[in-house]
Amino acid sequence: MKLSAGTIFTFILLISVLIADNEVFALSNFKFQQIPGQIKPNKTDTVKNAKVLKKSSLDSKLEYYAKDSINTDMEKEISYLYGGARVVYEGFELDADFIRFDSKNKIIFASGVKSEKGKYVGRPIFKMGEEGAAIADSLIYYTESKQGVVYSVYKEQEGGFFSGGKTKMQPDHEFHVAGTTYSTCNLPEPHYGIHITKGIATENHILTGPVYMEFEGIPMPLGLPFAFFPKPNKKASGFILPTPGEDATRGFSLTNGGYYFAFNDYMDARIMGNIFTNGSYDLNLTSNYTKRYKYNGNLNFAYSSTRNGLEGTPQYKPQKNFNVTWSHSQNSNARPGTTFSASVNAGTSSYYAVTAANGTYDANAMLRNTMSSSISYGRVFGDGLFNFTSALRHSQETQSKTISLTLPDVNLNMATISPFDSKKSVGEKKWYQKLTVGYGFQASNTVSTKEDLLFTQDGLKSFKNGFQHTIPISLPFNLFQYLNFNSSMNYTERWYMQTIEKKYIRNVPSDIVVIDTLDGFKRAGEYNLSMGMTTKIYGRKDFKNLGGIKAIRHVMTPSVSFTYKPDFANIKNTVYRDQQYYINDLRPGKLVPTNEYVRDANGNILKYSTFEQGIYGGPSQGKQASIGFSLDNNVELKVRSSKDTTGNGERKIQILQGLSLSSSYNFVQPQKKLAPINFGGRSQFTDKLGINFGGTFSPYLVEQVAYTTGTGANQITTYSYQEVDKYTWSQGKFPRLVSLNLSFDYSLNPEAIKSHQKNVDNLRNDVSNNRTAEQAEQLAAISRDPNAFVDFNIPWNINFSYNFNYNNPLSMAASRSINNTVNFSGDFNLTSKWKVQFRSGYDFKANNLSQTSFAIYRDLHCWDLSANWIPFGIYQSYSIDIRVKASILQDLKLSKRKGYYTTY
């Protein structure tokens, strides 16, 4: 807990609320004014359902109302309000089933009443200004002496509840409280609380007598004899007390201790740390910031030095790791047309694994293989014609410890325009008016290297940059009403400040290639022409006597396209060069060219592109004059609905969705003119089961091919199986299946998925909640994992997912690879308050279980108990936590953990 005002012991929030403003009961000098009708001057008058404003010698105005009746004793100058009584005085609002005004003695009293069944109902509910409403058993206020008493107050404040006791307001703006309880339990008689026996609060200070914890009405030996605190009316900085613990590997510890900085209402920071007796330590800096109607975000920097071995062993050497996360979002209305956002997750690759995801034991984070970041800025200008975006990007592979940076990536796109169209044209457009032209510009500066080499001199010199311009031109038209054509031309030009030069040196068993980088501006362009046609074909068959099936419908969407592109490698003054042999010379720059060239099996000189290492590549090699074709299919059944009581209801079942076949044929390609045949599709048979599939067929045979290298005594001939330029159907065979993937998800209780998504949406839509970094991460975990959200309204849930991948490029046992995995997860309620969760899977190729975990959750109303267990694997661990549900008292918890790194 924080050692600061209002935070060292959260029970002082009770006093803060009760002394929020002494004007809550400032009803002195009130006036009455009657408007609806005149009350006769007898001693006692009764008016039902009246709203009265009464005027007298007093100099303030008060409005009052009663649903039942208003009884006025003119002699004693007392008014009685019965049944749904309401009083409004300036910013003060009071509702109760009974309110009494004593104008003579200047006293106001409010209370509830007993119902016919003997229950106390209609308690006073009062509110002042922007303060939240509070409930009391009764209250009384003496307007002349400015003293008041509230009995058994009940008020919610920032996730906590204040109840019971007696509060007395003194003329000198002091408040005396006694017997009051603060708790996050919302029951009238809370399961637990912090009990204040007595206390005095002034405008700037709080002084209390004995305070102690209370569970189920039983006092606990946890408390203080007295306390004194300053009481500012805003957030304050303070210490966060650490939690003592012990770990078998790292020794005794103090964890989650630090200091909280409350800079202002819009920005705060927190420095936390863990320290262990074996020399390990962790540091964490978290900051949240917001500007209303403008932007908000949070920043987190974590550093750890971990020792997991015994002193004197190699494992005892400290492992240094760090991680930075930053999230920033801009309100869409802050600057229309301009956007800025950031999502950063960067650091050392082993951070999540070594620190157990910063102690959260999040399996998804610990097993994470990639980290990525993006900081982007965008602007739309020119009346929406131009769209500019720029971004700084980063990605990491934690296993290979490689990192890629893009600093920056710039895009400028112009919306397509019709240069020959007129805004004043009427009727059907001419063919040339349908012509559209666009423009796109890209620029990027990237580097890919190892983590430990990034900030070295050679690493910073490895950046690659380039520019790319694209101009698409399109002309759509229709033919015979049902055929949709589109012709287009695309021009692309690339600029680079660096190119490469290759030199080939003969060597056994393979040639050596020396690559030099040349500085200087180079440019090259390329273009292609294309035309495509598509249409739709419908088929339907109705059935009268086929059980519940009433009709079947088939929709086919064939597409044909033709593309032409010249061979830019054979055009003079292009970026392509011949692959030439050189005589090896150990002296730099002394390689001597020969008249020999690298040739293919047909004796043709091979070429290379000086742009091939550019980030946008270069003009493509090889002439293309190809025709592409595809066929998309959708098949659905119309069946009788069993849920319709009239017997005439119908429903549709999607048998096949998006079953597609596609390939292409290049007329000018010397070999293998026909491209592989790709297929894919999906089917949603029921709400519980959906299947996705896809794969590739190869139309070519596989044969043993001889390959000869070298000459004379150095000549070597090797044999290998390869695809050859012979079609499978030339031998009466079907095309070969070279790849297949199949996956499906199945839920035995789809209502659980709907409930999970609904709760996540509610959390995301709660914009009033200014979430901390921990809360944002918890929400992200719930989004990733359906089992991360405990919903007792769903009694059970079981999910299955299956993935099958088959690859065999040569249709041989040696080249075959099969991956086959099944995962399952779910939960069930043992009782209305006990829930068990589980997650596991099986990898058939590894012949082993995937990470398995179990969790037990117990709802204790205002508290909860959770136990998590990973029984085996590298992250074997368990944890048991008992904590208060409300975030304001999260420090009130008991934890027991055994970390995955505890190995002895």
Give residue-wise pLDDT tens across range 178-213. 888 877 777 777 777 788 888 887 766 778 888 888
Question: Which of the listed ranges 9-13, 190-194, 351-355, 560-564 does the model predict with the highest average pLDDT?
Answer: 560-564
Output the pLDDT for position 641. Answer: 75
Under 8 Å between Cβ of 285 and 325: no
Output the pLDDT for position 450. Answer: 85
Spatial separation of the C-alpha atoms in residues 490 and 474, rounded to whole Å: 9
Instruction: Grade residue 826 by pLDDT with cuts at 50, 70 and 90.
Output: confident
pLDDT at 891 over 60: no
Instruction: Grade residue 509 by pLDDT with cuts at 50, 70 and 90.
Output: confident
Distances (CA, A) of 748 to 641, 757, 758, 799, 823: 21, 16, 18, 6, 14
Over residues 530-558, the pLDDT tens digits come to 999 999 999 999 888 787 788 999 999 99
Output the pLDDT for position 558. Answer: 94
**Residue of higher predicted confidence among 439 and 902:** 439
Under 8 Å between Cβ of 286 and 261: no
Mean pLDDT to the nearest integer, 454-472: 83
What is the end-to-end Cα distance of the chain in Å, rounded? 33
Nearest to 273 by CA among 315, 318, 235, 239: 239
Contacts of 643 (CB under 8 A, 6+ apart): 649
Q: Cβ–Cβ contacts within 10 Å for residue 264, how many?
A: 9
Residue with tokens 């909860």: 864
Output the pLDDT for position 892. Answer: 52
* Full-model pTM: 0.62
Spatial separation of the C-alpha atoms in residues 431 and 427, rounded to whole Å: 12
Percent of the chain beyond pLDDT 90? 30
Lowest mean pLDDT among 100-104, 430-434, 848-852, 896-900: 896-900
Instruction: Grade residue 410 by pLDDT with cuts at 50, 70 and 90.
Output: very high
Output the pLDDT for position 59. Answer: 44
Q: How far is CA 882 from the centre of its chain?
A: 27
pLDDT at 703 over 80: yes
Output the pLDDT for position 112. Answer: 92
**Residue of higher predicted confidence among 236 and 683:** 683
Under 8 Å between Cβ of 244 and 220: no
Nearest to 362 by CA among 763, 782, 756: 782
Chain-wide mean pLDDT for the chain?
80
Instruction: Grade residue 665 by pLDDT with cuts at 50, 70 and 90.
Output: very high
Which conformational region is residue 731 in: left (phi greater than 0), alpha (psi within -120 to 50 degrees), or beta? alpha
Output the pLDDT for position 397. Answer: 87
Mean pLDDT to the nearest integer, 97-106: 87
Residue with tokens 């030009």: 493
**Residue of higher predicted confidence among 610 and 791:** 610
Lowest mean pLDDT among 214-228, 414-428, 686-700: 214-228
Beta-bridged to residue 107, according to DSSP, are 102, 142
**What backbone torsions phi and psi does residue 770 show, to the nearest 5 degrees?**
-80, 95
Lowest mean pLDDT among 278-282, 317-321, 778-782: 778-782
Instruction: Grade residue 574 by pLDDT with cuts at 50, 70 and 90.
Output: confident
Nearest to 889 by CA among 185, 217, 287, 242: 185
Over residues 586-619, the pLDDT tens digits come to 666 678 888 899 988 778 889 999 999 899 999 9
Mean pLDDT to the nearest integer, 696-708: 90
Over residues 633-652, the pLDDT tens digits come to 999 888 887 666 566 677 88
Output the pLDDT for position 787. Answer: 46
Residue with tokens 């949709």: 484
Output the pLDDT for position 765. Answer: 52
Output the pLDDT for position 8. Answer: 33
Output the pLDDT for position 493. Answer: 95
Output the pLDDT for position 41. Answer: 36
Output the pLDDT for position 460. Answer: 67
**Residue of higher predicted confidence among 420 and 203:** 420
pLDDT at 288 over 90: yes
Mean pLDDT to the nearest integer, 480-494: 92
pLDDT at 80 over 60: yes
Instruction: Grade residue 884 by pLDDT with cuts at 50, 70 and 90.
Output: low
Spatial separation of the C-alpha atoms in residues 815 and 846, rounded to whole Å: 18
pLDDT at 763 over 60: no
Mean pLDDT to the nearest integer, 747-770: 57
Output the pLDDT for position 800. Answer: 83
**Residue of higher predicted confidence among 700 and 448:** 700
pLDDT at 786 over 50: no
Output the pLDDT for position 132. Answer: 67
Spatial separation of the C-alpha atoms in residues 891 and 893, rounded to whole Å: 6
DSSP 471-497: EEEEEEEEETTTEEEEEEEEEEEEEEE
Mean pLDDT to the nearest integer, 299-307: 92
pLDDT at 248 over 80: no
Read off the amino acid at residue 410.
V
Output the pLDDT for position 903. Answer: 42
Over residues 829-854, the pLDDT tens digits come to 888 788 888 889 888 888 888 888 88
Output the pLDDT for position 755. Answer: 60
Over residues 514-528, the pLDDT tens digits come to 888 888 999 999 999
